[in-house]
Amino acid sequence: MPDKSSKLVTLLFVLFFAIVLPAGHLMGIVSINTISLWGRYCCFAIAALGIDLIWGYTGIMSMCQAFFFCLGGYCMGMHLLLKATALQGQELPDFMVWNNFSSLPAFWQPFHGFVPAVVLALLVPAVIAFVIGFFVFRSRIKGVYMAIITQAFALGMYLLFLRNETKLGGTNGLTNFKAVLGFDLSSSNTKLALYFATVAMLCISYILCRKMMASKFGKVLQAIRDSEPRVGYTAYRVLNYKLAVFVVAAVLAGLAGMLYVPQTGIITPGRMSVTSSVEMLMWVALGGRGKLKGAIIGALLVNCLYSLCTSLFPEGWLFVLGVLYILTVLYFDKGFTGLFDKFAALLRSRRKAVVEGVPSPHAENTRVSHPAMARSSEGN
Amino acid sequence: MLLEVNNLSVSFGGVQALNLSHFQLEDKELRVVIGPNGAGKSTFMDILCGKTKPDTGEILFNGKATNGLTEVEIAELGIGRKFQKPSVFSSLTVFENMTLAARMKKDVFSSLFFRMTPAFKKRIVAVAERVGLAGVLDKQAGALSHGQKQWLEIAIVVLQDPKLLLIDEPAAGMSDRETERTGELLLELSKEHGVIVIEHDMHFVRQIANNRVSVLVNGKLLMEGAFEEVRNDQRVIDCYLGRANAQLEKL
């Protein structure tokens, strides 16, 4: 029964994003900007999958995922900027001219090609995550200390990227992109294609993550969360497992960032600030930790709410998020998906009770809580 | 000789927790270690399985020194540890718990591409039957009773196929019936593995002590001998009575 309903949710999800939204656009109901917006949310959902792997499943709180997201974003941004510069017949991107650069910095050179840029967008986060993870996990840093160290690292990188000397555009970041693979970024067809690419990558990432978590590898990760010493005494090298999942999470974040930049048109260090990383954790916490669907739903729902709130009452967004977070911690620690499961179970027991002709003790509860369930299933 | 320990000592913050001049264990021997609280019994096991590093001394396991090895390397050599507080993977099912434990290649890639075979499944079911968990294989480990968790942890250790089992207070918190079953299980296991058991419950010790019993007091080995011999030893009685533990008297 739960398996069936979960498959239904997946199917509805894919139907909605792959067919209903684009069809709405073609019929003129949904604007291309809305499509692009949802494309960006889907990028966040990919990054959230990575966070769920490392935090929800393995229990390691990494607070530098936004940095990995930006690494992917910057790699793609550098490529797009070089292309735009070439289109305008200039030799150097504008910000370099303003900063009196005489030539293109050496580390910009590989980003002339699209394929190297894509490879680097995935490789750079992976390598950096490997190095950081190796030292952090080898020193057996965990829990709060892990959160603090990754947070400090994210802050350091943020400050580094703010500087003009880093040669990545400083505070203003990279912008003024024109085309990707020769297609005009401002045309709605390109936007639609990018949206489809993102949804496809989200589906592929989800399937791969699911396979990974269903394998023995995923079970070992959960075992590390439950009782790390026991895993060690059972002859698993915990360090390797943590490293592997940290790298996978970083690659997912990089992939998300890479898809995000052409749809947004700008990448700045602001995206990698500590608050962005915390926000990413919130998506997963609100959506439901330890459930891949929860991560996706959380990312989409929170960002959707964010857009709604900031246009309706710009000052109030943080309050809304804060209240939601407190409610989650207090009353539904498994997030939206946990809430959904709970009500599904309640409904089932009530239906069973009705069939057997016995009044259910939960009947009252279910009725009262119906609106909440309707709300959470909307997001599916 | 399965295990030989010489001049093992460790101290925590100036307090000598263990100072063991000599200890040895034959292959397929079941040894019970008793002693009052703070005698260094658990510390001894912590050192054997690599959790605690000794200050001095050597441990020879099958003639090979284990000093300086990590807990994973020691586990691979064939020493399995069951902790005093049951530590199982509470969010996984009993079957998954046992699958993870079973002896096999345990690197990341082998785990990613691991496939369950019927033979493997059979082996897990066999061990589950042995420890009395065959009926709850699909249950979440966190939902098991305390006694069942203890058995599950024993199963986890047994599935690693170790030559030496270190079992810390297996009967703690168990009912009389469960305790007796645990005793039978340990006796059976000692036919195939070397086993060291730490225990407080003297009824339980009498049930399983088919060979020698070692008494640790203040980190030192007070005496070794058969259960009756140890029970009637005045020094042993004194050190237990000194701590208001009349259990030995009652027997």
Quote the distance between the C-alpha of residue B230 and its chain's center.
21
Count Cβ neighbours within 10 Å for each residue of B33-72 and write b for 16 or more, e otherwise.
bbbbeebbbbbbbbbbbbbbebeebebbbbeeebeebebb
CA–CA separation, B104 and B114 (whole Å): 10
Instruction: Look at chain B and count its residues.
Output: 251
- At residue B67, the pLDDT reads 87
Query: Scanning the structure block, which residue is given the tokens 């507080």?
Result: B85
- Cβ contact, residue pair B100, A220, below 8 Å: yes
Which among A219, A230, A241 has the least Cβ separation from residue B108? A241
**Contacts with A202 (C-beta within 8 Å, 6 or more apart), sequence order:** A42, A45, A46, A296
Tell me if B88 and A237 make a contact (CB, 8 A cut-off). Answer: no
| Distance to chain A for B177, nearest Cα, Å | 27
pLDDT tens digits, A259-318: 999 999 999 999 999 999 999 999 999 999 989 999 999 999 999 999 989 888 888 888
Query: Residue A368 — very low, low, confident or very high, per pLDDT cuts 50/70/90?
Result: very low
**Contact (CB<8Å) B100/A223:** yes
Residue A140, token pair as written in the block: 């057996």
What Rg value do the Cα atoms of chain A yield, rounded?
22
**Cβ atoms of B102 and B120 closer than 8 Å:** yes
Query: Is A234 in contact with B87 (Cβ distance < 8 A)?
Result: no
Q: Distances from the Cα of B20 to the Cαs of B34, B69, B188, in angstroms?
A: 14, 20, 29
Contact (CB<8Å) B80/A233: yes
- DSSP-derived secondary structure letter, A59: -
Mean pLDDT of chain A: 89
* Inter-chain touch A227–B76, beta carbons under 8 Å: no
- pLDDT over 80 (residue A5): no
Q: How many residues does chain A have?
A: 380
- Confirm or reject contact between B90 and chain A (CB < 8 A): yes
Q: Region A250-267: what's the mean pLDDT?
A: 96
Which residues in chain A have Cβ-Cβ distances shorter than 8 Å to B113?
215
Nearest to A256 by CA among A140, A248, A242, A106: A248
Say if residue A167's pLDDT is above 80: yes
pLDDT recorded at residue A349: 85
Report the alpha-carbon distance of residue B42 to residue B29 in Å, rounded.
Answer: 19
User: Do residue A233 and residue B114 have CB atoms under 8 angstroms apart?
Assistant: no
What pLDDT, on the 0 to 100 scale, is given for residue A377?
38
> Tell me: the pLDDT tens digits for A177-203?
999 998 999 899 999 999 999 999 999
Minimal C-alpha gap between B146 and chain A (Å): 16
Q: Searching chain A, which residue's CA lies closest to the CA of residue B161?
A: A234
3-class DSSP assignment, residue B20? strand
Predicted confidence at residue A363, as pLDDT, reads 42
* Range list of β-strands (E), A238-372: 266-267
The predicted structure's pLDDT at residue B246: 52
pLDDT at B248: 53
Q: Which residues of chain B have pLDDT under 50?
A: none
The arithmetic mean of pLDDT across residues A344-352, rounded, is 84
| DSSP state letters, A306-322 | HHHHHHH-GGGHHHHHH
Across the interface, of B75, B89, B92, the residue whose CB is closest to A233 is: B75
Question: How much is the ipTM here?
Answer: 0.88
pLDDT score of A8 more than 60: yes
Query: How far does the CA of residue A237 sit from the closest CA of chain B (Å)?
Result: 7
DSSP-assigned states of every residue in A131-176: HHHHHHHHTT--THHHHHHHHHHHHHHHHHHHSGGGTS-GGG-EE-
Write the CB contacts of A91 (distance below 8 Å, at least 6 apart in sequence): A85, A104
B156 and A230 in contact by Cβ < 8 A? yes
Judged by a CB distance cut-off of 8 A, whether residue B15 touches chain A is no
d(CA B182, CA A301): 51
Chain B's closest residue to A215, CA to CA, is B112
Report, as an integer, the average pLDDT of A246-254.
97
Q: How far apart are CA B177 and CA B204, in angstroms?
A: 11
Determine whether the interchain pair A234/B76 forms a contact, defined as Cβ–Cβ distance below 8 Å. no
Percentage above 90 pLDDT, chain A: 64
Crossing angle for the helix pair A32-51 and A188-214, to the nearest 10 degrees: 20
